[in-house]
Amino acid sequence: MGVLAAFLGMIPASALSAIPQKAKIAKAGQSKALHFFNPHTGEKLDVSYFAKGRYSPAAMKDVSYLFRDHRTGSVKNIDPHLLDYLYGMSLKLETRSSPFHVVSGYRTPETNAILCRESGNVAKNSLHIQGKAVDIRLPDRKISAVRRVAVSLKKGGVGYYPSENFVHVDVGDIRCW
């Protein structure tokens, strides 16, 4: 520890001040906030979901509600690691004030089965059913850029659907399609 402290002491303060403030905040873990828009319901949510070293139960409840299955109204708890994945994307894309459009969040098994029958692009055992996946777009960013950043983070699965204008991200195994 002493060697590390000595090394850090040799770095000029001007070099440390060049680190963007948002990077300092993210690394310190002081607070994490995201912005969402659900195009199916018209709802918006600006939420600080992580502060003082813990996830906010009230914020997680609000996120789970916004991510609900819009076809049935059913709500399931959303995995907080999925929000961390989106937070990492927002930092890299520098869109912390732009809302993620939630194309599809949680899906009931029944909704997923219907979508599976209607489309060859829906997995029978989708992580959407577990609250561990979301299909998103950021209107102010190219969908290819959103995909590229999601893949670069290596935090889970990334599906690319340019014809439907969304990217799927999940906190399952690292894979791309």
Q: Residue 51: enclosing H or E segment and its boundaries? A: strand 43-51
User: pLDDT (tens digit, 9 = 90+) per residue, 38-65?
Assistant: 999 999 999 999 999 999 999 999 999 9
Among 102, 97, 93, smallest CA distance to 152 is for: 93
User: pLDDT (tens digit, 9 = 90+) per residue, 84-127?
Assistant: 999 999 999 998 778 999 999 999 999 999 999 998 788 889 99
> Strand, helix or coil at 175?
strand
**Cα torsion at 66, 69, 74, 76 (round to 10°)?**
-70
The Cα–Cα gap between 38 and 45 comes to: 9
Global confidence as pTM: 0.82
> Can you list the domains of the chain with their CATH numbers?
21-176 (3.30.1380.10)
User: pLDDT (tens digit, 9 = 90+) per residue, 15-34?
Assistant: 444 444 444 444 555 799 99
Note the pLDDT of residue 132. 98
